[in-house]
Amino acid sequence: MVEPILRLEQVKKYYGRNANITKAINGISISVKKGEFTAVMGSSGSGKTTLLNCIATIDNVTAGHIYIRGMDITELRESRLADFRRKNLGFIFQDFNLLDTLTVGENIALSQIIGRADPEAIDSRVQNIAEKLGIKDILDKFPYEISGGQKQRCACARALINEPALILADEPTGALDSRASRMLLEAMSAVNRKMNATILMVTHDPFCASFCGRILFLKDGRIFSEISRGDKSRKELFTEILDTLNLLGGDLENA
Amino acid sequence: MLSRLAFRNVRRSLGDYAVYLITITLAFSLVFSFGLIASSQAVIDLSSGMNLFRTLLDFVNAVIILVICFLVNYTTKFMFTKRSREFGMYLLLGIRRNQIVRMFLLEILLLGLIALALSIPLGFIVSQFLSMLIVNIFGVAELILITFQAEALEQLFVYFSILYLLVFLNMLRRMGKMNIRRFLDTERENEKKMLRSSGQRNLLFFLSLLLGVGAFALWNSQFDLTAISTGETLTWLMVAVTLFIISIYGISVTGSDMLLTFVLKRKKVKYTGDHLFLARTFSSKVRSMSITAGTLSVLVTLTLLALNFSYLSQGVYEYTLESEAPYDVSVHDNREVLDDYIDIIEEDYTIQDIVKYDIYKEPKMVLNPIVALPGSNEDFDSVISLGSYNALLELRGMEPVTLKDDEYMIVCNPQYLELFENTDSIKSLTLADGNILNLAQITDRGYWLYMSGIANYAAVFPDQYTKGLETAESNLVVDTIEETSADLEKKIEDEMSWHLVYTDEDGDTVHEFYRFNVRGLVIEETNSMTAMISSLCLYIAFIFLSTVGTILAVQSLSDASKYRYRYTVLNRLGVEAGSLFRTILRQLLILFGLPVIYPVIIVFLCMTSINRVYSLALYDPYIYLLYFLAGLGIFLLVYGIYFAAAFVGFKRNIQVQ
């Protein structure tokens, strides 16, 4: 059996002390296979961002284990985390987090340069990914010179440059209009298909989730439900997501 | 790549931290220029007092470097907090923490090096201006050009290295403790709120106020003529200063918060104009930067004190000169040798006027016991004739005095004024020959330290009463057209040594050089003392003041970009740009004003105390008020520049239509 890219074993994350304990994640076990495009949905406070932060090594788990490519990241020391992140993880955030002193091309290449990759190879990689995401013409521009949609595709390219085992996206369309959202999601889908990239995306937007192959629904820190695209069309999946959300209840708009 | 990133970040920072960069450049250039002056042989040769200047300067520099260190450290911490999320991003991208630390420290160092590089030519230019000032003070005919001294440059580099080493160590400690979560969240954190309940706050406020009152009472008690010379004075003053500092911190931590609560609790005040917005905008800042505000207030206090001392030393300069050497040359010696002094003076100077006068002995001795020092063996009252006294006054351009036939007056050292005034028995003086004179006035005007070699006072009698009296000593005062120089003192010492140097019966060599006094030498000594104290005080004041100004300006400018949306919202809600700018003006006035209020009160009270002693050395006992206002004026002028820079930058940053 092929080892999954990501495997969570009874992961728990508690905040607070004694009587004031908040169980943000309360025993989640999942596994994500290579090439899966997975969405995590849930109402506000359901624990989806905490889950993402634990997988991203931003937060430590209270209990349980997280394996990425078979390596238990909950046991990794701080000194080894930087290398681990560079080689295995890619991040896409709602607010882009591009470095405004670097050009788009330099932003994409940054982690490769830090990893001391061959300069020639870096350039061709940047060109290659930029082409896939439709941002080849803006590589020499600075972040303040381009649109939000372009910024997010740049962030997406940055996440992809190292061909990481797992791409983590936190509400990537949150700051985009519907047209830019659609463009980004189509680009992410294409990357998922063509490069066989594994993507885990937190979102509260059913339209956004309908681009994924698998959707996990969280409630009160646990997996409430899970649906897969299978042979369904995107429209059919979208309807199914809405149905599940109705079942889930809660204020999704504020998620 | 990381160093390229650091360079680009520095370029970006130049705009944001221009005020900071200008301030540390000026600070380094002052450190350098004072170093150049202190190591310039031409300046050292000007006066023997300049050696003391070097020692004092080393001490002052140590304090100044600490304060610059506080400024650099604060700004570095500030830059770090502002960019911590960006650093968190670097960590997420897989950059190691030590690489990030290295990049950030490189940026800080680059900013410092830019300031250092600019400060060297600037400091060199400033030193030429300082030299012009010194030349002016010493009345040197030729301009002294300060040469470039490697010693001063080395000293600057050493200070720079120590300063940045301290800042780096602190930053390494801070960054070493942080994990990725803290990096991502630090930007949103405030300094910890110190006091949980308003009860604790009120208690601390009143305790601090009480401590301030106690500190002042202790301070004030030490500036009493009877207490000032006792050995414990310095210890008590140090205790008072410590109490003042604690009180300033206490008031800073609690005062603004109390004011805010007052505003927010009263609806009438709260809902008037922009009070609510101002109070709310300010509350988060005040409650979180209390300790920094305390340090700023302490620095403001020290700045104002330094400015006042600078003026005071200049004020005392005139007095010192007038009390020690109002005439070009004064001599008290035997009448037979007075002409020998005149001959020596005449060799180099054109004599305009000569007054020879005697101090007589009035054997009844009523006045002497009042002021005589223990062990004094004079058994008479010192007397001068009215004619001689008026001649001395006229030589100084002062109005002569008149006395009735049965009147006398006392002219004395200001220190003894009160003693004579409080003695009723001298209102009517019965002389040895049975005549009775009534006291017309007691004055210290016209008295100078070398008026008489034997007493700190003289009774002025109408001429007829001095006729039969025995002469105690003869005096000579010479007024020359040219200003005398210190060389004349040396010349008189050499040429009169046959008379002034002798061997007593015990075989010891006795030098009686105290018998004459040359104004030129006093000017030189007083000049160097005044120049030293005054310039060092101004140096301290400038560095401290610019540190406070920079911290407040950097804070304001950062707030402006961080909270731009607040003003945009107000603007969209219909508040016009004009009234929005007035609100910003008020907001900055509060931010800049609050750290100044308590220090101004403290410094005023302290200077009033100090004046109780210093007024003896000042022509006008209330001139310290003028010094205080002038010091405050200079303070507000420089502070105002930082305020204006903060206001202009704030307006630009929020970009309201």
- Under the banding of pLDDT at 50, 70 and 90, the label for residue A255 is very low
Residues of B in contact with A158 (CB under 8 A): 93
Residue A158 touches chain B, beta carbons under 8 Å: yes
Which among A100, A102, A111 has CB closest to B94? A111
Chain mean position to CA B113:
30
Give pLDDT, residue A67.
93
Does A113 fall in a domain?
no
Residue A113 touches chain B, beta carbons under 8 Å: yes
If DSSP codes are grouped into helix, strand and coil, which group holds residue A112?
helix
Which among B5, B9, B181 has CB closest to A59? B181
Nearest-CA distance B142 → chain A (Å) = 54
Does A63 fall in a domain?
yes
Write the CATH number for A177. 3.40.50.300
Number of folded domains in chain A?
1
Mean pLDDT within B29-47: 83
Give pLDDT, residue B1.
65
pLDDT, mean over chain B = 85
Burial status of residue B402 (CB atoms within 10 A of its CB: 0-12, 13-18, 19 or more): exposed
pLDDT, mean over chain A = 87
Which among B9, B12, B179 has CB closest to A78? B179
pLDDT (tens digit per residue) in A88-105: 898 888 888 888 778 899
Does A109 fall in a domain?
no
User: In terms of CA atoms, which chain A residue is nearest residue B98?
Assistant: A79
Q: Residue A201: phi, psi to the nearest 5? A: -120, 130
- Under the banding of pLDDT at 50, 70 and 90, the label for residue A113 is confident
pLDDT (tens digit per residue) in B270-282: 777 777 777 777 7
Q: Residue B139: phi, psi to the nearest 5? A: 65, 35
Long-range contact pairs involving A71-78 (C-beta distance under 8 Å, separation at least 24)? A78/B97, A78/B179
Question: Cα–Cα distance between B329 and B326 in angstroms, integer?
Answer: 9
The answer to whether B94 contacts A87, with C-beta atoms less than 8 Å apart, is: yes
Does A125 fall in a domain?
no
Residues of B in contact with A84 (CB under 8 A): 94
Chain mean position to CA B54:
17
Best probe of the B interface among A55, A92, A96, A97, by most B CBs < 10 A, is A97
Nearest-CA distance B604 → chain A (Å) = 50
Mean pLDDT within B355-360: 92
Which among B2, B85, B96 has CB closest to A82? B96
Question: Cα–Cα distance between B489 and B178 in angstroms, integer?
Answer: 69
- Axis-axis angle for helices B519-562, B486-495 (nearest 10): 150
Mean pLDDT within B307-315: 87
Nearest-CA distance B86 → chain A (Å) = 8
Does A1 fall in a domain?
no
pLDDT (tens digit per residue) in B455-487: 888 999 999 998 888 998 899 999 999 888 888
H helical segments located in B289-407: 290-324, 338-348, 368-371, 386-395
Give pLDDT, residue B230.
60
Nearest-CA distance B627 → chain A (Å) = 50
Give pLDDT, residue A33.
92
- Under the banding of pLDDT at 50, 70 and 90, the label for residue A68 is very high
Does A229 fall in a domain?
yes
- Under the banding of pLDDT at 50, 70 and 90, the label for residue B374 is low
| Residue A253 confidence (pLDDT) above 50 | no
Best probe of the A interface among B1, B8, B93, by most A CBs < 10 A, is B93
Residue A97 touches chain B, beta carbons under 8 Å: yes
pLDDT (tens digit per residue) in B395-424: 988 899 999 999 999 998 877 888 888 888
The answer to whether B8 contacts A115, with C-beta atoms less than 8 Å apart, is: no
Give pLDDT, residue B192.
57
Best probe of the B interface among A53, A55, A81, A122, by most B CBs < 10 A, is A81
Does A224 fall in a domain?
yes
| Residue A239 confidence (pLDDT) above 80 | yes
Give pLDDT, residue B161.
95
Residue A91 touches chain B, beta carbons under 8 Å: yes
Burial status of residue A196 (CB atoms within 10 A of its CB: 0-12, 13-18, 19 or more): exposed
User: In terms of CA atoms, which chain B residue is nearest residue A55?
Assistant: B92
Structure tokens, A103? 């050009």
Structural domain containing residue A239: 6-97+165-254
What pTM, to 2 d.p., does this model score?
0.79
Structure tokens, B331? 């001599």
Which among B86, B92, B179 has CB closest to A91? B92
Question: Cα–Cα distance between A209 and B228 in angstroms, integer?
Answer: 83
Distances (CA, A) of B256 to A190, A251, B202, B458, B598: 58, 41, 11, 58, 11
pLDDT (tens digit per residue) in B43-91: 777 766 677 778 888 889 889 999 999 999 999 988 888 888 888 888 8
pLDDT (tens digit per residue) in B542-575: 999 999 999 999 888 888 877 778 888 777 777 7
Which among B5, B91, B99 has CB closest to A101? B5
Say which amino acid occupies B379: D
Segment among A250-254, B358-362, B508-512, B559-563 with least mean pLDDT:
A250-254
- Residue tagged 């040769």 (tokens): B45
Which among A83, A85, A99 has CB closest to B92? A85
Residues of B in contact with A164 (CB under 8 A): none
Q: Residue A231: phi, psi to the nearest 5? A: -100, 10
Question: Cα–Cα distance between B106 and B90 in angstroms, integer?
Answer: 16
The tally of CA atoms less than 13 A away on the side-chain side of residue A232 is: 17
The answer to whether A114 contacts B5, with C-beta atoms less than 8 Å apart, is: no
The answer to whether A57 contacts B180, with C-beta atoms less than 8 Å apart, is: yes
The answer to whether A91 contacts B93, with C-beta atoms less than 8 Å apart, is: yes
Q: Residues B547, B23: contact at Cβ < 8 Å? A: yes
The answer to whether B96 contacts A100, with C-beta atoms less than 8 Å apart, is: no
User: In terms of CA atoms, which chain A residue is nearest residue B11?
Assistant: A101
Residue A82 touches chain B, beta carbons under 8 Å: yes
Q: Residues A219, A28: contact at Cβ < 8 Å? A: no
Q: Residues B631, B625: contact at Cβ < 8 Å? A: no
Does A249 fall in a domain?
yes
Q: Residues B330, B460: contact at Cβ < 8 Å? A: no
